[in-house]
C-alpha cells in the first residue's frame, strides 16, 4: 500500500513539474504581448474558477476559520510570492537564468525542513541533491552555449525569492494537505491570490488592446492558466500529501529537462552526450533522496532498539 502511494506521489510530482517546465518558454512568449501583472492575474482568477467548477463535482469539505487563515497564508507563499513573483522575474531575465535559479529549491527546502520539521540532513539527502543539481546545471550550461543571455540581477533575485517562498509552503503548510483535499485547498488559495492581484492589475487588464492580441498568445495564456496552474497545483498538492517535502522539491530538477526536450522537439535544440549525462544525474539524484531516511524512519528505528 505504501509503495503504491509513493508511486502515485512520484507520478503527480513528475506531472506537475513537466507542466511547470513548459511554463518558462510558453510564459516568456506570452509576455511579449501581455504584461506580467495581467498574465499573473489571468492565471489566479482562471485557476480559481476552474477549481470552483471542479469542486461542484467533489465531496464538499467544511474548512474551519483557523484553517481558512492558514490557507490564506499558504496562498501567499505558494502563489502570490511564488508563481506571481516568478512571472515578474521571468519578464526581466532569460529563461536559462530562471532555470538555473529553480535548481536552488531542493537545497532551500532541505534547510527549511531541517529547521521547521526537524527532518534529518542525512548524507544520502545531501548527496542526492548535489548529484541532481550537477545534472540540472550541466543541462542548462550545455543549452546556454550559443544563446543570448539577456539576464538581469533583479529578475534572478525575484526568481530566487519565488523558490524560497515555495520551499516554505512545501514545508510549513504540509499539514493542510493531510487534512483537506487538493481541490478544497486550491479553490480557496487561488481566490485569495486573485484578491491580492486584482486591485493592482485592473488598469493593465482594462487597457489591453484585444484586437491586436494574437490567437497564439491567448492559447499560451490558457496553458498558463489550465496547465501551469490548475492541473499542476492539483498534482503537486496530491504529491505533497504522499511524499516528504525534500522529495517533492527534487522534482524541480525536471523543469530544465522538459524545457530542453521541448526545444529539441521544436527543432531549436539538439541532443548530445552532455544532455544524456545531465538527465541521468537528475534521475539518480531523485532516487538517492528517496532512499534517504526521514525523521519517522529514525524514530521507528529508535523504538525498535
Per-residue pLDDT at 95: 66
Rounded Cα gap, residues 16 and 218, in angstroms: 22
- Distance between CA atoms of residues 240 and 10, nearest Å: 10
pLDDT(132) > 60: yes
Highest averaged pLDDT of the listed ranges 1-15, 84-98, 209-223: 209-223
Listing DSSP states for 124-174 in one string gives: HHHHHHHHHHHHHHHHHHHHHTTS-----HHHHHHHHHHHHHHHHHHHHTH
Q: How much is the mean pLDDT over the chain?
A: 81
pLDDT at 15 over 50: yes
Of 33-47, 147-161, 220-234, 251-265, where does mean pLDDT reach its minimum? 147-161
From residue 130, alpha-carbon distances to 108, 136, 267, 277 in Å are 12, 10, 31, 15
pLDDT at 176: 87
C-alpha–C-alpha distance, residues 88 and 162, integer Å: 10
Look at residue 6 in the predicted model and tell me its pLDDT.
81
d(CA 212, CA 33): 9
218, pLDDT greater than 90: yes
Q: Which helix (H) or strand (E) holds 176?
A: helix 174-179
Q: What mean pLDDT is predicted for residues 283-293? A: 72
pLDDT over threshold 60, residue 1: no
Whether pLDDT at 147 is above 60: no
Cβ contacts of 15 within 8 Å, gap of 6 or more: 231, 232, 235
The count of C-alpha atoms lying within 13 angstroms of the C-alpha of 208, restricted to the half-sphere facing its C-beta, is 20
Q: Is the pLDDT of residue 96 over 70?
A: no
Residue 271 has pLDDT above 90, yes or no: no
User: Does residue 299 carry a pLDDT above 70?
Assistant: no
pLDDT at 186 (0 to 100): 93
Amino acid at each position: 500500500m505504501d509503495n503504491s502511494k509513493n508511486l502515485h506521489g512520484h507520478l503527480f510530482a513528475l506531472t506537475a513539474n513537466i507542466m511547470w517546465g513548459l511554463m518558462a518558454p510558453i510564459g516568456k512568449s506570452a509576455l511579449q504581448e501581455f504584461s506580467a501583472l495581467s498574465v499573473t492575474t489571468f492565471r489566479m482568477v482562471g485557476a480559481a474558477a476552474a477549481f470552483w467548477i471542479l469542486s461542484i463535482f467533489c465531496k464538499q469539505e467544511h474548512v474551519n476559520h483557523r484553517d481558512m487563515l492558514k490557507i490564506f497564508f499558504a496562498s501567499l507563499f505558494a502563489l502570490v510570492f511564488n508563481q506571481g513573483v516568478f512571472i515578474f522575474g521571468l519578464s526581466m531575465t532569460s529563461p536559462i537564468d530562471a532555470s538555473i535559479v529553480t535548481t536552488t529549491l531542493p537545497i532551500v527546502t532541505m534547510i527549511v525542513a531541517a529547521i521547521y520539521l526537524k527532518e534529518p540532513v542525512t548524507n544520502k539527502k545531501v548527496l542526492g541533491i548535489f548529484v541532481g543539481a550537477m545534472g540540472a546545471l550541466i543541462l542548462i550550461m550545455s543549452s546556454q552555449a550559443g544563446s543570448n543571455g539577456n539576464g538581469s540581477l533583479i529578475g534572478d533575485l525575484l526568481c530566487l525569492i519565488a523558490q524560497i517562498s515555495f520551499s516554505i509552503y512545501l514545508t510549513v503548510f504540509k499539514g493542510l494537505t493531510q487534512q483537506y483535499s487538493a481541490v478544497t485547498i486550491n479553490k480557496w488559495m487561488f481566490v485569495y491570490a486573485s484578491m491580492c492581484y486584482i486591485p493592482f492589475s485592473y488598469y493593465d487588464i482594462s487597457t489591453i488592446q484585444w484586437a491586436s492580441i494574437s490567437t497564439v498568445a491567448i492559447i499560451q495564456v490558457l496553458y498558463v492558466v489550465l496547465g501551469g496552474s490548475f492541473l499542476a497545483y492539483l498534482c503537486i498538492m496530491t504529491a505533497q500529501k504522499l511524499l516528504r517535502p525534500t522529495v517533492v522539491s527534487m522534482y524541480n530538477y525536471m523543469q530544465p529537462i522538459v524545457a530542453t526536450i521541448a526545444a529539441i522537439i521544436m527543432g531549436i535544440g539538439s541532443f548530445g552526450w552532455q544532455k544524456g549525462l545531465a538527465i541521468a544525474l537528475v534521475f539518480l539524484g531523485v532516487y538517492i533522496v528517496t532512499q534517504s531516511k526521514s525523521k519517522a524512519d529514525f524514530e521507528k528505528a529508535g523504538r525498535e532498539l
